[in-house]
Every structure is written in C-alpha cells, then in structure tokens.
Structure 1
Amino acid sequence: MRCFVAVDLPAEIKRELPAIQQTIAMNGLKLVDPELVHITLKFLGEVPEGRVAEIREALARVRFSPFQARIKGVGAFPGRSIRVIWLGATGSFEELARAVDTALEPFGFERDKRFSAHATLARVKDLSLSRVLSDRISGISDIDLGEFTVDRFVLKKSTLTPRGPIYEDIAEFRASQ
C-alpha cells in the first residue's frame, strides 16, 4: 500500500487554487486536482498492509500543539529546470514533520534530510517550459491565501491510476490540547 503523512488544506484555501492554476496552465504541465492538494509531512512509499496498523499506532503517539499556518507564495523546485510548482507554507510544519520522522524511525523509514513545507500545484512534464513558467510564477509569487489552524494530520493511502492519484484517509491524528 502506497502511503504518506500529510496536513490537508482547508476548503476555503482549496477553492482559491483553480484560479492560481489557470495562471500557470499550459501544455506540458500536469496540474494537481485542487481537492488533492496537501502538505506532505512524510512520504512512506510502499508499506506492507500488515504494518499499517503499527504505523497508525506510532503516529497516534505523536504529540503536538495546534499551530497557525499561512499559505503564501508560489515557487518552483529545483531551480532553473522547473519540475514542481508549489505554494509556500509557513508555521510549525518542520517540528511536526520531525515528530512524525521520530515516530516512524523504528520502522526503518529514513529521516528526511531536508524538509520544505509546501503544497504541490503542478508537475512539469516538459522541462523546456522552465523559462516561461518562471515568468508566470514571478507574477503570482507573493500571493497570500491566508491563515488556518493546523490541529490534525492524516495518514493517507495513494492509489495511482492513469487519471491521477486517488487518496484515501486511513487515520486522522489530532493535536494535544
């Protein structure tokens, strides 16, 4: 089972995404379905189904306080040859990702060396578009979609299909009060 740990964006922010995506849309770019846009804390990859319950129990022990987050800015990875276009995310995501890493370490998952809180808007299939995309991104680079409270994270299952991924929530974990 292909799994990852994420923070979902609130509906009011997801409603803003199609307009932003239209600004960058072109052939050679695969836009992420706005309903599926999220902030990945940890990608687990293929997990044996028999281990999912243990992983869920480990994640249930992660303690974190609710925190304010902001979705602001549009940028790209890795640099000159753009492969991913993202929305920036600020808040205590790094601390939460570190706590998730620590909880999952006994299962053999490697710690992420570099964590950058972001929500993927699009993947670039044609690298020759990088220059044009850079110009389009610069026009919306300072966009601010506002704040929300992060008070939960989710273990998700991802099923890849020709039409795109299908995400299914396996378990939700709430902040300690």
Structure 2
Amino acid sequence: MIRTFIAVELDPSFGEKIRQIQERFSDFDLKFVNPEIVHITLKFLGDIEESMVKPLEEALDSLMCEPFEARIEGLGVFPKPSNPKVLWLGATGNFETLHADVETLLKPFKFKGEDRAFTAHATLARVKTLSKDQKSAFADILNELKDTRLGSMQVNKVLLKKSTLTPYGPIYETLHTVYLD
C-alpha cells in the first residue's frame, strides 16, 4: 500500500516568503510544513494498492481543465480562529473547476468523499497546542498577516504524489504528472 494524493505544487519562488510567515509563528507549538513541499491538495486518496497507480494515471490523463493563473494570498486557519488546528495560505483561481474535474474522473474508483466543501489552500503548519494566552497572541499575528500576498503563478500541471511519512516529516515523490492544455 502507498499513501497518495493529487496536488498542485506552489511556485518554488514562494519558498522564502513561506519561511518568513512560518518564522512569525515560531513561538507557538506548531508542526511546520517544509516550505519546499507546501502544495495545494486537490484530493487526498489515502493508502492505495500499487496496482491502482496505472489506472489512476490513465484517468487523470483525461483532465479537461485548461491552465490558469492563480494568486496565492491570504492567511487563515481551520476550523475557526478561536480553535486553530491548521494554518494555511489561500489560493484563488480556477481551482474549483480543476477539483471538480478530478472528482469526476475519480468517481469510478469510489474514493471516500470529503465532508466539507473544497477550499483551495496550502497548509503551512498544524497547531499542536495553544494556551489561552497563546491563542490571543496567535490571533493577533494571524490578523496582522491575513492579507498576505505571495504573488501569482501559472497552474499548468497536476501531480499524483506518493507520501512517505517519517519522524522528520513527509517525503513526497511524484508518481505521475498531467500537463493541462
């Protein structure tokens, strides 16, 4: 079994800005995502048999979404500011269409659906614990950075990725690349 997901990688030029944002939250008990591997997940597939990789590649090769420009901007948390569990960067562009296209192509595989609506975002950190006092300080920094703008990027490919979890963080490997045209 291999752990897999479908994603759009962020432009590598955003790495330093991501690092700077993460640095602002370094006083809190967070598990940061390495800036080099921050991405937008379109669909988490979970553990699959290796024999499913080829059929998934073939299905994804039928993506109809055209390339589009995306803006990476805005900082927020899930599920809500009073109880932050995930710190994320927002993404705007044609992600809803791309996500819907991926969902449609994967329907025959019967992957588990999401309980919540798709929101294009890139996870920067997972919140481990925050005391009451820290929640206020965390919210202040979040509010100060909420309108952060990293810039624009071209979304012209979608990746099927393998994730290997290690004590030092996940290691990602691209299994298949689909170029949008």
Match of 1:120 in 2: 123
- Listed one character per residue, the Cα deviations across residues 53-111 of structure 1 (whole Å, up to 9, x for unaligned) are 11111111111111110001111010121000000100011110110011111001134
Task: Give the TM-score, by structure 2 length.
Answer: 0.93
Partner amino acid for 1:45? Answer: G
SS of 2:84's equivalent in the other structure is: coil
**How far does residue 15 in structure 1 lie from its aligned partner after superposition?**
2.6
The answer to whether the 8 Å contact 2:28/2:130 transfers is: no
The structure that is strand-richer by fraction is 2
The answer to whether the 8 Å contact 1:158/1:165 transfers is: yes
Give the superposed CA RMSD. Answer: 1.1
Q: Does 1:141 align with 2:146?
A: yes
Unaligned runs of 5+ in 2: none
Match of 1:174 in 2: 179
Q: Does 1:87 align with 2:57?
A: no
Give matches, 1:97-112, under 5 Å: 97-112=99-114
Match of 1:6 in 2: 7
- Percentage of identical aligned residues: 46
Looking at structure 2, the residues matched to 63 and 14 of structure 1 have their Cα atoms a distance apart, in angstroms, of 29
SS of 2:108's equivalent in the other structure is: helix
Looking at structure 2, the residues matched to 65 and 30 of structure 1 have their Cα atoms a distance apart, in angstroms, of 34
Shifted more, 57-66 versus 23-32: the winner is 23-32
Unaligned runs of 5+ in 1: none
Shifted more, 123-132 versus 23-32: the winner is 123-132
Match of 2:38 in 1: 37
Task: Give the TM-score, by structure 1 length.
Answer: 0.95
SS of 2:27's equivalent in the other structure is: coil
The answer to whether the 8 Å contact 1:5/1:44 transfers is: yes
The answer to whether the 8 Å contact 1:74/1:86 transfers is: yes
SS of 2:24's equivalent in the other structure is: helix
SS of 2:76's equivalent in the other structure is: strand
Partner amino acid for 1:123? Answer: R
